[in-house]
Amino acid sequence: ILGATIVARHAGEMISEITLAMAAGMGLSRIANVIHPYPTQAEAIRQVGDLYNKTRLTPLVKSLMVRWLSWTRL
């Protein structure tokens, strides 16, 4: 993460997590893996991380995961 701008009602609550991630050299995928309290305004940051992780899912990996999940649920 190189920088962030948040324009929202509770931006001050949300920006601290981004600031910490920048200082620690963390990316969105690591933020998505952190357990966040729910419901809070900062939950939106985790949701952004989840959306980012979904863009990294290639069609091949997605099809393999679907097959594996259907196999394990039998």
Give mean pLDDT, residues 50-72. Answer: 87
The predicted structure's pLDDT at residue 31 = 86
Would you give the end-to-end CA distance of the chain in angstroms? 41
- Residue 22 confidence (pLDDT) above 90: yes
Contact between 18 and 1 under an 8 Å Cβ cutoff? The reply is: yes
Separation between Cα atoms, residue 73 and residue 59, nearest integer Å = 21
Instruction: Look up residue 68 and give its amino acid.
Output: W
Residue written as tokens 């509770």?
A: 10
Does residue 43 or residue 52 have the better pLDDT?
A: 52
Q: What is the chain's alpha carbon radius of gyration, rounded to the nearest angstrom?
A: 15
Is residue 24 very low, low, confident or very high in pLDDT (cuts 50, 70, 90)? very high
Is residue 19 very low, low, confident or very high in pLDDT (cuts 50, 70, 90)? very high
DSSP category for residue 31? H
Give mean pLDDT, residues 24-37. Answer: 86
